[in-house]
Amino acid sequence: MNDEEVLNTPRTSVKFSWNHGGKQVAIIGSWDNWETREILQSIGKDFIVAKTLPSGIYHYRFIVDGWLTHAPDLPWVCDDSGNSYNILDLMTPVLEFPESLSEFEFPPSPPSTYDNQYFNDDDFSRPPPDLPPQLRETILNESSRCISGQQSGMQPRHTELNHLYQNNVGGEFMALGSTFRCLCFSLDHVITIRSMAMEFFVFFQRSVLSELISAS
């Protein structure tokens, strides 16, 4: 790497600190092939020095009162000879988190979009919303097949579970069905009722709903 490449390489400011006692503390590292011993400045009970290094992974050691050692509270490794080194990783980018997440929050809905009006007959006479396409098919309408002498049906999709389906065939009776999942099994519930009873059930639901709204 030539001098121009060294100057253009991104560099990071790093602070090295030692707080494990001693009268004089220095540091040496692989950033200059262990050639330079740099004295740390004593500030209170800590010894501190700042360096600006290019990206990379470095090994370094502290020299405390003439003894080579490592800081146990910082990342460190031990080689095959039993020598311990601290490790500095400047290859992994440091994620910067914003101080506040308010700029990412959606603004609240304006108060004008809310109301507290009672339901009326027009609300109940409106047609239902369009059925999502994934709910237009139900496993209750699928024909079963026979495998190894046993009847086997298709496994339901997750969008078909826990929905109440009504047959679209008119007449005196009405069939309702729903599919549930229990462990690895699928359970189909089908009931048949008279149409007049179903109309009474819907009317009863609307009456109870109106009373609850009035009471609130």
Of residues 67 and 183, the one with the higher pLDDT is 67
Q: What is the pLDDT of residues 11-30, one digit of tens each?
A: 889 999 999 999 999 999 99
**Range ranked top by mean pLDDT from 31-35, 130-134, 143-147:** 31-35
Q: What is the pLDDT of residues 146-190, one digit of tens each?
A: 444 444 556 677 777 777 777 766 666 777 777 777 766 677 767
pTM (predicted TM-score): 0.42
For residue 32, pLDDT over 80 is answered with: yes
Task: Determine which of 47-56, 58-67, 94-103, 206-215 has the lowest per-residue pLDDT on average.
Answer: 206-215
Task: Determine which of 39-43, 192-196, 204-208 has the lowest per-residue pLDDT on average.
Answer: 204-208
Of residues 75 and 192, the one with the higher pLDDT is 75
**pLDDT at residue number 123:** 82
What three-state secondary structure class fits 159? Answer: helix
Beta-sheet strands, E only, within the chain: 11-18, 25-29, 38-39, 41-43, 46-54, 57-64, 67-69, 76-78, 84-89, 145-147, 150-152, 165-166, 173-182, 185-194
User: How many other C-beta atoms can be found within 10 angstroms of the C-beta atom of residue 197?
Assistant: 11
For residue 58, pLDDT over 90 is answered with: yes
Q: Please give the domain boundaries of the chain with CATH numbers for all domains.
A: 3-89 (2.60.40.10), 118-215 (no CATH)
Whole-number Å distance between alpha carbons of 140 and 189: 9
